Amino acid sequence: MMIPKSIDPKRQAIIDAATRMFLAHGYRNVSMDKIAQAAPVSKATLYNHFDSKNALLAAVVSTLCTSLLQTMSEAVIESDDIEKHLKKIAVSFMDLLFSEDGMAGYRLFITESRDFPELGQLAYESGALPALTGLENYLRRLNADGHINVADTEFAANAFFNLLKGDLYLPCLFSIRPLPSTDEKNRVINQVIPFYMQGILHADQ
């Protein structure tokens, strides 16, 4: 996953190194010393930016969620072509969800949330919740402008993402099947979008 560069290159180098190592080896198997070596920065520099491994993990979680949220933020600026923007959101969501890093990140969150309960809250508030809220706000705007007719925009936003996950997500998460190809993801998107559009355009009619 391409992670956006921050203003502080050393801080970003630390997050990049920690992300690679946490996803590849697991949180428990990576020490702050190893992260400093991989960055590479001094231990003093590492601790100047992150006073604990938990704080660094929190930064990694927040950064891993950035890609989807940026794309969704761009997508909800305009509303003149609903299908086009829903497809843009869907492509971003599927690419992130079914990426190697996306899968590894989710497994990491689940594994570490038991001993780091704040992590689950952070992952939800940094990724899932803003994504849902962004789409819900977009649907509300479309409602207000008379483009669609949806009584429960929160439910509609949840339904959109769940339709995209479909029956692919859990088998991939459990490593039962390989990650879907671009063609497979596009096939799902091209099935979901028209179905979803029918629902939001003709809801309550």
Flag whether pLDDT at 33 surpasses 60: yes
Does any domain span residue 1? no
CATH code of 33's domain: 1.10.10.60
Number of domains, the chain: 2
pLDDT of residue 3: 44
End-to-end CA distance of the chain: 42
Q: Please count the residues of the chain.
A: 205
Does any domain span residue 186? yes
Assess contact for 35 and 56: CB atoms under 8 A.
yes
Give the pLDDT confidence of 71-85 residue by residue, as tens digits: 556 655 555 788 988
For the chain, the average pLDDT equals 85
Tell whether 16 and 72 lie within a shared domain.
Answer: no
Q: What share of the chain is helix, strand, coil (3-state, %, to 5)?
A: 75, 0, 25
Measured CA to CA in angstroms, residue 94 lies from 75, 113, 186 at distances of 15, 24, 9
Tell whether 79 and 152 lie within a shared domain.
Answer: yes
Does any domain span residue 3? no
Tell whether 109 and 198 lie within a shared domain.
Answer: yes
**CA 124/CA 12 separation, integer angstroms:** 22
DSSP string, 118-166: HHHHHHIIIIIHHHHHHHHHHHHHHHHTTS---S-HHHHHHHHHHHHHT
Domain that holds residue 43: 9-60
Q: What is the mean pLDDT of residues 85-110?
A: 86
Assess contact for 104 and 169: CB atoms under 8 A.
no
**CA 99/CA 64 separation, integer angstroms:** 11
Tell whether 84 and 140 lie within a shared domain.
Answer: yes
Flag whether pLDDT at 169 surpasses 50: yes
Tell whether 103 and 169 lie within a shared domain.
Answer: yes
Tell whether 94 and 130 lie within a shared domain.
Answer: yes
Is the alpha carbon torsion for 158, 126, 123, 96 positive or negative?
Answer: positive
Tell whether 129 and 181 lie within a shared domain.
Answer: yes
Tell whether 56 and 102 lie within a shared domain.
Answer: no
Does any domain span residue 153? yes
Give the pLDDT confidence of 183-195 residue by residue, as tens digits: 999 999 999 999 9
Tell whether 110 and 20 lie within a shared domain.
Answer: no
Assess contact for 2 and 67: CB atoms under 8 A.
yes
Does any domain span residue 125? yes
Q: Is the pTM of this model over 0.85?
A: no
Does any domain span residue 77? yes
